[in-house]
Structure 1
Amino acid sequence: MKTFTRLAATVLCAAALVTPGTAQAADLNDPQLKDIAMQLVSSAENSSLDWRAQFGYIQDIDDGRGYTAGIIGFCSGTGDMLDLVRLYRDWKPGNALEKYLPALERVNGTPSHDGLDPNFQGDWQSAAQDGTFQGAQEHERDRVYFDPAVNRAKQDGVQALGQFAYYDAIVMHGDGWGDLDFSSIRQRALNTGARPPAQGGDEVQWLHAFLDARVWTMKQEPAHEDTSRVDTAQRRFLNEGKLNLERPLQWHVYGDAYEIG
């Protein structure tokens, strides 16, 4: 999922920059479109469209990031799980996960489970029944991933599909840490000569360049070598001209077929 040293969530300008001749970007914050985005991510992260069933998900998927958990794959080794549990403590002191904060601080940046085993997984699953913890997960998903991605995409003048492509990239790669993060993917696309609509470019050409850069980045890590979440999902929508994620949507991830009618 994500990479070490997680995204420092910078608040980006939310206004879409639209130049003459550029389509007004649809807003992925629209509740129906946002729900579609969550289902698309869940199909890749959890092999299910039921993203609301994933609050209690937790396992070590052997990608060097420790435990991966929750609706967006918060990781014990990348800092976002630590931030989430800190927020949960602030919102509900004395909760079942608060006692793991010292261990989460120690293992941050490593794949270690030291101080978390043997009860952390069970306590996470129990906490996931708590509406406060569910709210904290949604808050951190939006603060760290969804809002920065959508705001950057709207600045670039892309519509809902492009906004989702940015979001999915930040979910997997994080931002603000190095050569394989979201900003580096975007820069790699710019280096090809493609330009986003807000800079006078063609939206379809820009998104193809962005997805090409994303695929290259995924292939740099063994855990991400399967690029079907791009090749047979996002790229398929782009080739079908569904720049606003118009339904029906049909796609494959890791060989499994999905549809939103």
Structure 2
Amino acid sequence: MFLKVVLLCLILVTAHGALDECQKELAFRITNIYETGTTRFKFDYCQWLDDGGGYDAGFISGNTASGAILAVVERWEKIKPEDDLVTLLPRLRQVVGTSDVQGLERLCDFWRAATKDSRFNRVQYDYATDGYYNPSQRHGAEIGLTMPLARAQLYDANIEQGDGDDEFSLGGMIKTTISQVGMPEKGRQSDWLAAFLNVRIAALHKKGYGNTDYRVKSYQWALQHGQQKMQGKTVQVLENGLQQVVNVTCTGDFSN
């Protein structure tokens, strides 16, 4: 009986267009290109960019201002409370919503040291899943969006722009797209994705982030070059300069 229930759940998930594990990994690795310049999971990435977000760290390039780094370290505290990184929790809580980095001078040293423990890297991966991937996929399920490339794009949009109802955020951009071209009906999902990508580019430029529209144009290229189904273990997109084609491959191993 239990096996039947599991099989039924798998059928329902597939019917609602959820990405399989390989496609999810591909989505993550594609976004890695835009966040850290590589398809691998750069868990040890950490630097101060002086862009108003404080420190950036981790393979999704979360920052201290948004609270993303705080969330990861709070999860890590439950696994290894004696880690040096955990000692920064009080200060990390104080700087959320600000660009202040005072008192965090050892953050990158502690962060990189923590990545030597595979459990910390798993914490990062699970946070990206719970905080960004799953919410983006719920949006896709709610509107009946089943195209794998479109589902991957929702994740990338959520990573960069966050979720919400304003015109710059994922939920707001979905609403804007629906108001322009309707729901992503079967047989028209390529058109819907094309419209969403245009909406996202417009939102980025309006908000002052037009210099990052290469990540959206990379998806436009993928859409135009037959990558909609993300079949097999490799998908092609463009690198950040939009000049070179990048082969992104799922390996089944998040540790590299």
TM-score computed with the length of structure 2 as normaliser:
0.84
Q: Is the 8 A contact 1:162 1:207 kept in 2?
A: yes
Partner of 2:18: 27
Alignment of 1:136-155 (within 5 A): 136-155=123-142
Q: C-alpha offsets along residues 206-245 of structure 1, whole Å, 9 cap, x if unaligned?
A: 11111111111111344442311111x2111212232212
| Bigger shift: residues 107-116 or 246-255 | 246-255
Equivalent pairs counted in the alignment come to 237
Pairwise CA distance, 1:125: 0.7
Q: Is 1:49 matched up with 2:39?
A: yes
Aligned partner of residue 239 in structure 2, secondary structure: strand
Shift of 1:250: 4.1
1:37 aligns with 2:23: no
Higher relative contact order (CA 8 A, sep 6+): 1
CA distance in 2, matches of 1:79, 1:88: 14
Deviates more, 1:41-50 or 1:161-170: 41-50
Matched, 1:130 2:121: no
The alpha-carbon deviation at position 56 of structure 1 amounts to 0.8
What CA distance in whole angstroms lies between the structure 2 residues aligned with 1:58 and 1:50?
A: 15
What SS class does the counterpart of residue 192 from structure 1 fall into? helix
8 Å CA contact retained: 1:41, 1:168: yes
- Report the alpha carbon displacement of residue 16 of structure 1 after superposing the two structures with TM: 9.7
Question: Matched residue of 2:47: which SS?
Answer: strand
**How large is the RMSD of aligned CA atoms in angstroms?**
2.5
Deviation at 1:170, TM superposition (A): 0.1
Q: Indicate if the aligned counterparts of 2:70 and 2:93 stay in contact, CA closer than 8 A.
A: yes
Q: Report what 2:172 is aligned to.
A: 184
Confirm whether residue 69 of structure 1 aligns to residue 57 of structure 2. yes
Partner SS for 1:97: helix
Measure how far apart 1:24 and its partner are: 5.0
1:230 aligns with 2:216: yes
The answer to whether the 8 A contact 2:201-2:213 is kept is yes
CA distance in structure 2 between the aligned counterparts of 1:92 and 1:177, rounded to whole angstroms: 36
Q: How does 1:103-114 map to 2 (within 5 A)?
A: 103-114=91-102
Choose the corresponding residue for 2:72, options 62, 68, 84. 84
Secondary structure of 1:237's aligned partner: helix
Residues 36/59 of structure 1: CA separation in 2 closer, same or farther (3 Å cut): same
1:178 Cα deviation (Å)? 3.8
SS at match of 1:259: strand
| Alpha-carbon spacing, 1:110–1:210, altered in 2? closer, same or farther (3 Å) | same
Query: Residues 142-161 of structure 1, C-alpha deviation per residue, up to 9 Å, x if partnerless?
Result: 00001111232133232210
Contact 2:26 2:235 in 1 (8 A): no
Q: Unpaired runs of 5+ in structure 1?
A: 1-13
Q: CA deviation at 1:31?
A: 2.4
* Structure 2: runs of 5 or more not aligned: 1-8, 250-256
Q: Aligned letter for 2:37?
A: S
Seq. identity, % = 24
Report the counterpart of residue 6 of structure 2 in structure 1.
none
CA distance in 2, matches of 1:103, 1:227: 33
Q: Which residue of structure 1 aligns with residue 5 of structure 2?
A: none
2:67–2:97 Cα contact (<8 Å) kept: yes
Q: Which of 85, 92, 98 is the matching residue for 1:97?
A: 85
Is the contact between residue 63 and residue 223 of structure 1 (CA under 8 Å) also seen in structure 2? no
